[in-house]
Structure 1
Amino acid sequence: MDKVITIAMPKGRIFEEAVELLRKADYRLPPEFDESRKLIIDAEEEGLRFILAKPMDVPTYVEHGVADIGIAGKDVLLEEERDVYELLDLKISACHLAVAGLPDTKLNDVAPKIATKYPNVAAAYFREQGEQVEIIKLNGSIELAPLIGLADRIVDIVSTGRTLKENGLVEYETITEVTSRLIVNPVSYRFIDSRINEMVSRLTRVVSDVK
């Protein structure tokens, strides 16, 4: 029997959109797949095993080989800088990384503070702009930082912009567009390349059909 391919996927929106893509690519996933609270789900007919993880952990699982394949947002890949191959832009869960803050405010001239859960991305961006900033890493409620005087700006994911607006913030600059990508462990790619390439081909056809 062929080796079971393990796929790490984040919970939430990316998971839901990725499952829809896989089904459109004629992968037979069990009916209970969508409702399950399990963290490891087997699709035995297809020889696939899925690990459901936090988005930031997906590239780590793939790099260390506990997952052969992963689906991760480009934001996570840029932040984590893991040793994985990026095989395909799945064009799902589109959003962008942006700099935001209170309206009509300038960056502090002395060590402006930037709050974000993407410290590496934020530091690289402001370095490219010639700005020397202090990065404050937060894990949630990033929008709160400018409101309580913790930071001059935030760097965060923006989808519709609704959360920024509801908190009285405005977007100043777009750092990069973000979609979810299919990634693979380099060793897995060498040893099970035919099955992985088949998945890439099947998903590519589905992605090409999506506007």
Structure 2
Amino acid sequence: MLHIALAKGRIARTVFTRLQESGYVFPEYSKDSRKLIFTDEAGNLRVTLVKSPDIAVYVRRGAADAGIVGNDVLVEDEEQDVYELLDLGIGRCRMAVAGIQGHQDVMQKRILTVASKYPLIARKYFADRFQPIDIIKLNGSVELAPLVGLSDVIVDIVETGTTLKENGLEAFDYFMNFSARLICNKVAYKMKHEELNRFMEAVKE
């Protein structure tokens, strides 16, 4: 049996749809279910739903043979102990530096205060531009930070830009493209290569 870890939400819904279209049957799965583990009717595939930042941990430590996660997580965590096998084309987005609309001049400050869920990526971006920063790591709604005076700008994932606009923010710069990737445990890659190939055929675009 192949064990797959999936991020909850849109990635999981899209992957389950592709699997079902390829003939996999999950009797207990529905998009509204609160279950976290699903096994297909034939007993060939088990899917576990976990939070996105935990997927690489599951895969690296062998709790899952493979996983599907946005490569923003892989870049931020500098994950090197898994194989990246496939770009699934799900959840395409970009990293952006954003701030309050009409206040792009804030980027000229001598030391910029930056709020982000991605401190490593943010630090590298500004280091490449020789811009000193004070970084604030946030886990919640990063868009709030400039609005309440916590930071000058944010560095965050942007898909359409709607959330930024609705909160009076705008992107000052876009950099790095991201999407969902299939990653694999190094041992499983050798031991379950055939199963992995079947799975890739089922979920790829």
Letter in 2 for 1:8: A
Query: Which stretch of structure 1 is more off in the superposition, 38-47 or 167-176?
Result: 38-47
Letter in 1 for 2:103: D
Q: Is the 8 A contact 2:29 2:38 kept in 1?
A: no
The partner residue of 1:56 within 53, 57, 78 is: 53
The partner residue of 2:86 within 72, 85, 88 is: 88
Three-state SS of the structure 2 residue aligned to 1:9 is: strand
Letter in 2 for 1:89: D
Query: Which stretch of structure 1 is more off in the superposition, 82-91 or 32-41?
Result: 32-41
Q: Which residue of 2 aligns with 1:192?
A: 192
Deviations 1:75-131 (A, max 9, x none): 111112221111011001122111100122322533211101111111112112222
Instruction: Report the TM-score, using the length of structure 2 for normalisation.
Output: 0.91
Letter in 1 for 2:195: R
CA distance in 2, matches of 1:91, 1:26: 21
Q: Which residue of 2 aligns with 1:104?
A: 103
Query: Which stretch of structure 1 is more off in the superposition, 83-92 or 107-116?
Result: 107-116
Number of positions where the alignment pairs a residue of Structure 1 with one of Structure 2:
202
Report the RMSD for the aligned CA atoms in angstroms.
Answer: 1.6
Letter in 1 for 2:131: E
CA distance in 2, matches of 1:158, 1:174: 9
Q: Is the 8 A contact 2:28 2:38 kept in 1?
A: no
Q: Is the 8 A contact 2:71 2:178 kept in 1?
A: yes
Deviations 1:15-63 (A, max 9, x none): 1111122223332333534332112222241421111111111111111
Q: Return 5+ residue gaps in structure 2 as ranges.
A: none
CA distance in 2, matches of 1:146, 1:163: 14
Q: Is the 8 A contact 1:118 1:155 kept in 2?
A: yes
Q: Which residue of 2 aligns with 1:168?
A: 168
CA distance in 1, matches of 2:48, 2:28: 17
CA distance in 1, matches of 2:169, 2:113: 16
Instruction: Report the TM-score, using the length of structure 1 for normalisation.
Output: 0.89
CA distance in 1, matches of 2:108, 2:59: 40
What percentage of residue pairs aligned between the two structures are identical?
45
Change (3 A) 1:49 1:42: same
Change (3 A) 1:149 1:54: same
Q: Is the 8 A contact 2:26 2:38 kept in 1?
A: no
* Residue 28 of structure 1 pairs with residue 25 of structure 2: yes
CA distance in 1, matches of 2:38, 2:28: 11
Q: Which residue of 2 aligns with 1:74?
A: 71
CA distance in 2, matches of 1:193, 1:144: 45
CA distance in 2, matches of 1:110, 1:146: 17
Q: Is the 8 A contact 1:59 1:80 kept in 2?
A: no
The list of structure 1 runs, each at least 4 consecutive aligned residues, that deviate by more than 6 angstroms after superposition, is: none
Q: Return 5+ residue gaps in structure 1 as ranges.
A: none
The partner residue of 1:19 within 16, 19, 22 is: 16
* Residue 9 of structure 1 pairs with residue 6 of structure 2: yes
